[in-house]
Every structure is written in C-alpha cells, then in structure tokens.
Amino acid sequence: MFSRRRATMAKLDEIAGQRAHRPDYQLVLFIGLLMLVGLVIMYAIGPQRANVMNSVHGTDFYSDTYFAVKQVVSLALAIVAFIIMARVPFAWWKKHALKVLLAGLGACTLLFIVGNVANGMLKMDTFATNTLGAYRWFSLGSFGSFQPAEILKMGVLLYFATFLGARAQQGLLNNLEKTIVPVVSIAALALLFVVVIQKDMGTGIALGGIITSIFMVSGIDKKIGIKLLIAVLALGLLAIVGTDHRRERLMTFLNGDDHSVSADDNSYHIRNAMIAIGTGGLFGRGIGNSIQATGYLPEAINDSVFAILGEMFGLVGVCIILGIFTALLMRLLKITDRLPDMSMRLVVAGVFGWLAAHVVLNVASMIGVIPLTGITLPLLSFGGTSMLFITGAMGLAFQLSKYTSHKAVLTQEAAHENLSSRRGIGRTRVAGRRAF
C-alpha cells in the first residue's frame, strides 16, 4: 500500500513538473484565525440564540452552550476534511472527478425525488426539509442537516478543472463540440438543480463563481466567454423576475428606506442588519453585548453573522476580518499564478471563486449593496455542510501549493505570447526583420 502511495506521489510530481516543497502555511494561518473568530462569536451569542429558540419552540432543549458545542464539532469535521483533501494525492481526485460530479447530481436528484414526490405527492414524512416551497437539505435529526448542493460544488470544481485542463493540453479548449458544449451542458444542469429546482440563488451564484473563475484562468476565447456571460446574466435575471420571493427581495432592495414596505420580511431583515452594523460604531459594543442577536435579527448565527460582527467589533473589527479574508484570497491567487500544471491551476482558481463569491455576496447583502441573499460567511457562520466542503476545498489548494514554481507562470506565459506575436512564432529577431 505504501509503495503504491509513493508511486502515486511520484506520478503527481511528474505531472506537475515540480518537485514537492513546503506548502503555503499562510493558508492555514488565515483559515485558523477566521475559525477562531467564528467560534468566539458562537460562544458569545449562543445563550441569546438558545433563549430565542426555546421561546419559539416552547422548550428548554437548547442550553447556553448548545451552539458553541455544535460549532466545535463542525470545526473539527471541517479540519478533518481539510487534512483529507490535503493528504490524498491530487492525482486520485483528478481520476475520480467525474464520480464526485455524478455523486453531487445524484444527491440533488434524490433530494428532488424524496422532497417533491414522497413529501409533496404522497404526503409522506421524510428527511427532506422544505424551505420557501423547495427542498434544499436532508434533515439528519439531532446531527443537523446536509445540503447536497455542496457535493455538487465540489464535483463541478474537480471535473471542470480536470476536463478543461486536459482540453487545454490537447489544444481543444475553444472547440465548440468537444469542449464548450459539454461544459455548458453540465453547468446548465447543475444550475438547474440549484437555482430552479432548489430555488437557492445564493448557492447558484457561488456555483457560478466557481465556473467563472475556472473559465477565466483556463484561457478560453474572450468572445466565447463574453457570449456565455451574457447568456448567464440573462437567465439569472429571468430566474429572479420569475420567482415570487426573489422578486420581493429585489423590490425591497430597489425601494430602499421606503417605509411603505416596512412590514415586508425582507425589509425587516436588512433593516435590522444595518441597525446592528450601525450601532457597532467604530470599535463595537464588545463581545457578548449584541442586542440584535436576542431575536431582532433573523439568522443571526448563519447568513447574518457579518452584521453581528459589526455590532460586536465595530468598523475597525470588521475591517480586520475582511483584511484576513482578502489576504486568504490573495494567497489563493498567488498559488494559481505559480502552478505550472493547468488542471491544478484551475482547481485553485475555482476555490478562489468559491470563497470570493460567498464573502462578497454575504457582506454586500448585509450592508445593503445588493438584494438580500441567503448565503453563509465562510468559516464564521454557524457550522454545516458549507463549512465542511469549503474547508476541504482549501485543503486541496493547500496540497497543490507544494507544487508552485518560484516565478509566476501566468505572467511568463503572457510575456511569451506577447514576444511571440511581435517576432512571429518560432522565429528569431533576425528572421522577423527579414520577413519585414
């Protein structure tokens, strides 16, 4: 078994064109800092959240430490996922990328069947959870819930990076029949499950962030990319105006501070989020002194955790936290720029898009820059499947950071292309002058 593992690692070195070196431990540092902040927040507002839940359900099931303990368990599982993804050779993930994608599509299909057929048509009590008339999670009882769309994200990340990386090496990246049609079809199917069937626009945009980042780094023709982007934006607009709750959120956003919509749930949510951020001032109210977490702000430990951060730590605190996220994203970009293997490069680019989409959407919706979008703030929001998979994805990026070169590969390629276009491919300066 050990000899097989050594052979696999040797093969990985050969594919990457680089000998393994010390990985980028700054990724671990930034991830650890964010996890620590998230744990502090859960410990601080856990008792308040427990009181709210006990009042809503008329029970004393939720203890003061319930949410903090659950967060510790989620963090432990996320760390295990990080280690697994960092230790299992990329060659193995590359080989089984299609299986992961099919597992994600299969899980989403199972959720649709269990929810809409068993629950909806047959009126059976199953483990599928209904939200806004759609099924997004499998309920696991006291263990929480599981969102199949997260497996789909990982599958799209691995498969698209592997597939487009291979097509780039074959010189078929812009081939309509062999490359563009297959990837667009898979992307459309994945977005159909998430955005239309599960009615989860936030997760759909995050999935789109993964795909867009991979496309941009792959070197796909700009004309093709622009056409695809226009098509996606048009379909996204159609998905918004064609769904009641999305239309309501858009109208709430466009109305701004119009008090005529004050009774609207979405207006209530964003108004209290901005109150939380505003009352935090410059340095915040202090850890454990949140008022909005006592029941005023919906989803205080999940989608709205950034507003609670603003209330507790103030402008200075949230700027530091956003600075850590920015540093983490910049490290991912640096790793992407220095990976010589195309598939590896596309994986890390996809991880960047995944993380960036979550951070930008969550923060922008909490400060009222975009319509309210239900999406978690990575490593800070309360536990769950999202933390498990996004931490695992960063574990894979950490593994690939061992195979970076000392110089920026993308910069070298761009310089080479510019030089080739001036000289004529395969010609010397002298030959170029003679041709002129």
pLDDT tens digits along 204-232: 889 999 999 999 999 888 888 888 888 88
User: What tokens does 90 get?
Assistant: 């990329």
pLDDT of residue 374: 78
pLDDT of residue 229: 85
Mean residue pLDDT across the chain? 82
pLDDT digits (tens, 9 = 90+) for 167-190: 998 988 888 889 999 999 999 999
Helix (H) or strand (E) segment spanning residue 164: helix 148-170
Query: Where is pLDDT greater, at 332 or 304?
Result: 332
Task: Kindly state the DSSP code that residue 24 receives in the 8-state scheme.
Answer: -
C-alpha distances in angstroms, 435 versus 338, 391, 418, 425, 426? 35, 55, 18, 13, 13
pLDDT digits (tens, 9 = 90+) for 309-348: 999 999 999 999 999 999 999 999 999 999 989 999 999 9
CA distance 428 to 150: 51
User: What tokens does 118 get?
Assistant: 């068993």
pLDDT of residue 5: 53
User: What tokens does 352 get?
Assistant: 């960047």
What is the model's pTM?
Answer: 0.86
pLDDT of residue 132: 61
CA distance 297 to 282: 20
Amino acid at 427: R
Neighbours of 435 (CB within 10 A): 9
CA distance 409 to 339: 7
CB 199 within 8 A of CB 334: no
Q: Is 19 exposed, middle or buried (0-12, 13-18, 19+ CB in 10 A)?
A: exposed
Least confident of 15-19, 55-59, 230-234, 266-270: 15-19
